[in-house]
């Protein structure tokens, strides 16, 4: 028997199950795979031998489509890093023993840079032991779009589409009153501002979109911020601001930490606020106009009801690519997208050494941020545009999107 095991890891996205659907589709149609197993909760599910027989749970093309439109990791996730190979080989031995027991020849791990570290280490262990019949391959995933070596990441396009649409809707909402008001919208991204940059796409149909955009790649200056907001308020009533959760001062201190460190409520526990809330309080104090903050929170990564067709299609293709790599006997690679052109958008699917990806981060290039550090450039928009294109025909039941639940 040659069985395939697939697992998911890291923060969930609206497209990670599309990649899973791609892996399954490739395995089913390859004629080379017997059992198709899913480990529950990532590598932890491997150790626990907590496997789902996917041939039982996903029985038709229609169910594959349902899986692809289901947000968040259908196999569950984990945040677990394997130890360094030099320090502890026991974990790796254990994994290989479990693979042998379940006759697993192919292991596909869908995740971000931490997950690619797992692929890297496990492949290296197998190589060091001369194991030549187990193939470990990664498939990318992250809404943060911060993986090296791939033009962009599955899940990012859908999150970016949600963000662009939502900013355009929030802008409509804020536009209705003729009083001065500031709305600060905090977008996910501790170290990379890609998602926050996507707010600029709210302007694509001629609407104003965010008045100011602050990414975490540039140092955030609170005085400059207040000046920027004041200047915009002189020109317009409703000022919508997009801000990365991870904005930092020039000393590298998170704005959220910097301002709120002394805050306690009357129970004595400290308030943990995001950057948006901190800036809301700052505007209230320094400018005194009506102000609110909004966190897009989990919704930006789990909004399966508004995904990018480009993203979902590519996520499936990357899952298929990863599976095919394993079947072709590759090891220590991650499926990746290479962009051929922006407009018309053309892309190719390939695989790259996982070493190029693991434990690294791809940030927004500084030349794609304007000089004032409060907006993005046309180059960034040209990069983003194709990624949010197209809509999926989401299947609804009883008025809400239907999901495929695996466990």
Query: What is the set of active-site residues?
Result: 144
Nearer to a copy of itself, 281 or 350 (CB): 281
Among 176, 235, 252, 343, binds a copy of itself (CB under 8 A): 176
How distant is the alpha carbon of residue 81 from its chain centre? 18
Closest approach of Cβ 165 to a copy of itself, in Å? 5
Q: H helices of 262-308, where?
A: 275-286, 299-302
Nearer to a copy of itself, 266 or 341 (CB): 266
**43-81 per-residue burial string, b: 16 or more CB within 10 A, e: under 16:** bbbbbeeebbebeebbeeeeebbbbbbbbbbbbbbbeee
Nearer to a copy of itself, 219 or 394 (CB): 394
The tokens of 97 are what? 């023993």
Pairing state of beta strands 36-39 and 51-53?
A: antiparallel
Other CB atoms within 10 Å distance of the CB of residue 264: 10
Site string for a copy of itself, 307-346 (x = CB under 8 A): -x--------------------------------------
Residues that contact a copy of itself, how many (by CB under 8 A): 79
* Residues from 39 through 68 that contact a copy of itself (CB under 8 A): 41, 44
Is position 210 an interface residue for a copy of itself (rule: CB under 8 A)?
no
Nearer to a copy of itself, 363 or 385 (CB): 385
Among 29, 97, 128, 297, binds a copy of itself (CB under 8 A): 297
Other CB atoms within 10 Å distance of the CB of residue 9: 31
Among 32, 102, 290, 403, binds a copy of itself (CB under 8 A): 403
Site string for a copy of itself, 226-265 (x = CB under 8 A): ---------------------------------xxxxxxx
* Residues from 70 through 99 that contact a copy of itself (CB under 8 A): 70-73, 76-79
Site string for a copy of itself, 7-36 (x = CB under 8 A): -x---x------------------------
**Distance between CA atoms of 215 and 191, rounded to whole angstroms?**
9
74 pairs with which residues across the strands? none
Among 2, 83, 172, 340, binds a copy of itself (CB under 8 A): 172
Query: Strand (E) positions, 33-160?
Result: 36-39, 51-53, 104-111, 135-140
Nearer to a copy of itself, 62 or 177 (CB): 177
Helix axes 156-175 and 309-327, enclosed angle (nearest 10): 170
- The 3-state DSSP composition of the chain as helix, strand, coil percent (nearest 5) reads 40, 20, 40
Please give the C-alpha separations between residue 306 and each of 92, 133, 363, in angstroms, as whole numbers.
Answer: 40, 41, 25
Is position 276 an interface residue for a copy of itself (rule: CB under 8 A)?
no
Which segment (138-146, 167-175, 228-236, 330-338) binds a copy of itself by CB under 8 A? 167-175
**Distance between CA atoms of 22 and 284, rounded to whole angstroms?**
49
Among 34, 53, 93, 285, binds a copy of itself (CB under 8 A): 285
* Residues from 118 through 157 that contact a copy of itself (CB under 8 A): none
């Amino acid at each position: 028997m040659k069985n395939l095991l697939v697992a998911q890891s890291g923060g969930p996205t609206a497209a990670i199950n599309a990649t899973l659907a791609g892996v399954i589709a490739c395995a089913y149609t390859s004629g080379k795979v017997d059992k198709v197993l899913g480990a529950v909760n990532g590598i932890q599910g491997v150790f626990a031998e907590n496997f789902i027989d996917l041939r039982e749970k996903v029985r038709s093309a229609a169910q594959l489509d349902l899986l692809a439109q289901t947000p968040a990791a259908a196999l569950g996730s984990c945040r677990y890093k394997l130890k360094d190979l030099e320090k502890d080989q026991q974990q790796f031995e254990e994994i290989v023993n479990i693979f042998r027991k379940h006759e697993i020849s192919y292991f596909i791990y869908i995740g971000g840079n931490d997950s690619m570290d797992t692929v890297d280490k496990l492949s290296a262990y197998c190589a060091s032991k001369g194991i030549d019949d187990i193939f470990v391959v990664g498939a990318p995933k992250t809404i943060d779009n911060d993986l090296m070596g791939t033009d962009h990441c599955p899940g990012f396009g859908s999150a970016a589409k949600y963000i662009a649409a939502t900013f355009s809707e929030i802008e409509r909402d804020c536009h209705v009153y003729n009083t001065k008001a500031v709305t600060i919208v905090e977008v996910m991204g501790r170290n990379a501002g890609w998602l926050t940059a996507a707010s600029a796409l709210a302007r694509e149909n001629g609407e104003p979109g965010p008045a100011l955009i602050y990414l975490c790649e540039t140092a955030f200056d609170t005085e400059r911020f207040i000046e920027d907001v004041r200047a915009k308020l002189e020109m317009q009533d409703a000022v919508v601001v997009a801000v990365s959760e991870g904005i930092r001062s020039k000393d590298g201190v998170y704005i959220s930490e910097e301002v709120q460190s002394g805050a306690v409520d009357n129970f004595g526990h400290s308030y943990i606020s995001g950057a948006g809330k901190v800036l809301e309080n700052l505007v209230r104090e320094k400018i005194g106009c009506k102000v609110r903050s909004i966190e897009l929170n989990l919704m930006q990564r789990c909004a399966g009801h508004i995904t990018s067709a480009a993203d979902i299609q590519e996520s499936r293709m990357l899952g298929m690519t990863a599976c095919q790599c394993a079947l072709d006997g590759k090891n220590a690679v991650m499926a990746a997208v290479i962009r051929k052109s922006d407009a018309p958008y053309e892309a190719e699917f390939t695989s790259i050494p996982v070493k190029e990806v693991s434990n690294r981060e791809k940030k927004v290039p500084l030349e794609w941020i304007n000089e004032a550090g409060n907006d993005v450039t046309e180059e960034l928009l040209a990069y983003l545009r194709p990624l949010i294109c197209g809509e999926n025909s989401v299947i609804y039941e009883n008025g809400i999107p239907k999901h495929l639940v695996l466990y």
